[in-house]
Every structure is written in structure tokens, then in C-alpha cells.
Amino acid sequence: MIKDQYLVDRLKRNDLKTLDKVYLTYKKEFFLFARTLNAQEEDIADIYQETIISLYENVQNGKLKKLTSTLKSYVFAIGKFKIYKHMDKTRKLYHEGQVIHISEEMQLFETEALEEQRQVLRKSWKQLGNKCQQILELFYYKGMTLDEIQEVLQYASKDVLKSQKHRCMAQLKELARERYEKA
């Protein structure tokens, strides 16, 4: 079970204290995250509130029953979508205080570039060994801690696991870089 599932279960029971806890837990990190996406400062608070409301509504209407990632990942994914939707609606991005208008052609190019990167990553992922895939999936996709992964995969030492994770990530990056250079 994903470690944050208990929070979702509490939200299902209309536990508003849990909603407050979730709101406060991720707020500071979300604001930093939103800034990296060049969201305007005056919009971030509204987007975050909308994100938390969407989380709560998704739990209440049954769209979110079981987490497949950490709750933080789920919240940030909603927020990222809302940030991009807001930017699309305003049809402009902000970079270092300057307004940059987004053309439809640029949006199409960015979408194609992202899809190309995903394809390269998928193919590189398939070249990784099973152990590396397991470690990276548990850490990045399932949000497990190194202690949890050590227990599940029965590593003798957390430091050995940490080194292995680092080597696996470096290998994935190298495979992706090589594949991307060939494309």
C-alpha cells in the first residue's frame, strides 16, 4: 500500500483536519515548484487552492480511491496541469519579468518534443536490467523511501541500495543521451 493512502481514506470520511494538514504540508514546496514552471506569483496561491479543492473533489466523487504514487506526486500533477491550463488560457508565459506570448506552433512543437523525449526514455528504460527497473520504479513511481525499498528488495545495506540507485539512474541517463544523439 502506498504510504499516503491513509490520508486519502481520511479525506473520504470528510476529515477536514486532514485536508488542512495536506494543504499546509505541500504548500511551500508547491509554491517553489510553481515558480520553476514560471507561474506568476499572484496566480500561484489561487492555483494551489484550486489544486487542493480538486484533490478533495476527486476523493469525494470516487475518482481517487487508491493512490498509485505518493499524495505529493498526485497533488503536484494536478497543480502542474492547472498551471499549464492557466498559462494556456492567458496565452502567455512570464520569464524574468517579461511577458512571452505563446504561439500555437510553439505549443505544437513543445508537445512533439516532449513525446519524442518520452519515446527515448521508454526505449532506454527497456535496456535497463530488471533490478534497476525495480529500484527506480519503487523510488520514483511508487514514492517508496530507501528504507522501504531496502526491506522489499532485501538489500543488506541502505548505502549499497543508494549507490545502486545512483548507478541505475546514471545508466538510464546515459542510455537516453546516446539514443537521443542517434535520433
Q: How far is residue 99's CA from residue 107's CA, in Å, rounded to a whole number?
A: 16
Question: What is the location of CATH 1.10.10.10 in the chain?
Answer: 106-182
Quick one: which H or E segment has residue 173?
helix 158-182
CA atoms of 32 and 18, how far apart (whole Å): 22
Looking up cell 541500495 gives 161
Length of the chain: 183
pLDDT digits (tens, 9 = 90+) for 124-153: 889 999 999 999 888 888 888 999 999 999
**pLDDT above 60 for 171:** yes
Q: Which three cell numbers stand for residue 100?
A: 512571452
98-101/92-95 β-pairing = antiparallel
Render pLDDT for 84-132 as a digit per residue (tens, 0 to 9): 888 766 555 444 555 544 444 445 555 665 677 778 888 888 999 999 9
Question: pLDDT class for 36, splitting at 50, 70, 90?
Answer: confident
User: Is CATH 1.10.10.10 correct for 106-182?
Assistant: yes
Q: Does domain 5-102 have CATH number 3.40.30.10?
A: no
Terminal-to-terminal C-alpha distance of the chain = 39
pLDDT, one tens digit per residue, over 49-80 is 999 999 999 999 988 888 888 899 889 989 98
- Whether the per-residue pLDDT at 16 is higher than 80: the answer is yes
pLDDT of residue 107: 53
Within the chain, which residue ranges are assigned CATH 1.10.1740.10?
5-102
